[in-house]
Amino acid sequence: MSDLAKKALIQTLGFAALTGLLVIVPAGPGYWQGWLYWIVFLLCCVAVTLYFLRHDPALVERRMRGGGEREQSQKIIRALLSVVLIPLFVVPGIDHRFGWSHVPAFAVVAADAVVVLGFAIIFMTFRANSHASAIIDVAPDQRVVSTGPYAMVRHPMYLGATLLLLATPFALASVWALIFAILAICCLVWRLLDEERYLSQHLPGYDDYRRVTRYRLVPLIW
């Protein structure tokens, strides 16, 4: 196993383990909704990582460079998003422990299916665009991608993340956690608007792509 594969798997498993702790510990071991969500989350994360380690290791390497944002605004957005994600995962367990809200079992399972759909859209985005790094930057050889999911919206990775965020409160059986999901989506919208400004200035052809692909995040809406 290469050093890149070891680092990528350690990072992926570490992130999944932290997510599991945030979800399960506040509720206790009898929280079946939390266990189901965590298993789905873990399997999706590992599957995506293993696929791109084999088929596009350069993408994995770029995704692992999580720091080093050049734009101060992006550093602020990433920090805010990190802060909001913690209660998004923690509040459902507390909600479950004290019985603040109720989500039917069929809705929990359906929401987990939407989580998988969100990961699938992110996966298709990575397949279409090998330069989809974790930070906003433009590589010397980078070109505008307008095929695959990029033909529908300009930010398909954020579309997948939005579905994942919206589904998470229902998958974890907590209506109250929806507040934090909406706040996280607001951070994503802020990030994509800032990203468009940056790409318009630094990526040749991006303005032409914006004129052809009208919708930023949601097809036929915005």
CATH number at residue 64: 1.20.120.1630
Per the CB < 8 A criterion, the answer to whether 153 and 213 are in contact is yes
Separation of alpha carbons 48 and 189, rounded Å = 24
Q: Which of 94, 115, 203 is nearest to 154 (CA)?
A: 203
Look up residue 71 and give its two tokens. 């734009």
**How confident is the model at residue 91, as a pLDDT?**
98
pLDDT in the model for residue 71:
61
Answer whether residue 199 is part of any domain: yes
The first and second tokens of residue 150, run together, are 């990029």
Q: DSSP state, 43?
A: H
Tens-of-pLDDT digits for all 222 residues of the chain? 788 989 999 999 999 999 999 999 999 999 999 999 999 999 999 999 999 999 999 889 888 875 555 567 778 888 899 999 999 999 999 999 999 999 999 999 999 999 999 999 999 999 998 877 666 666 666 788 888 899 999 999 999 999 999 999 999 999 999 999 999 999 999 999 988 998 888 888 889 999 999 999 999 899
Query: What amino acid occupies position 16?
Result: A
Encoded amino acid at 123, one letter:
F
**pLDDT on residue 174:** 97
Q: What distance lies between CA 53 and its chain's CA centroid?
A: 18
Q: What are the backbone angles phi and psi of residue 214, rounded to the nearest 5°?
A: -75, -30
218 is a domain residue:
no
- Give the closest residue to 110 by CA, choosing from 22, 219, 36: 36
Number of domains in the chain: 1
Any domain includes 122: yes
**Token pair belonging to 49:** 């990582």
Residue span of the structural domain in which 50 resides: 3-212
Residue at 72: amino acid letter: Q
117 contacts 162 by C-beta, under 8 angstroms: no
For residue 221, tell me if it sits in a domain. Answer: no
Please check whether residue 176 lies inside any domain of the structure.
Answer: yes
Q: Is residue 220 part of a domain?
A: no
Q: What is the pLDDT of residue 132?
A: 75
CA-closest candidate to residue 58, choices 125, 9, 131, 117: 131
Q: Is residue 222 part of a domain?
A: no
- Domain contains 167: yes
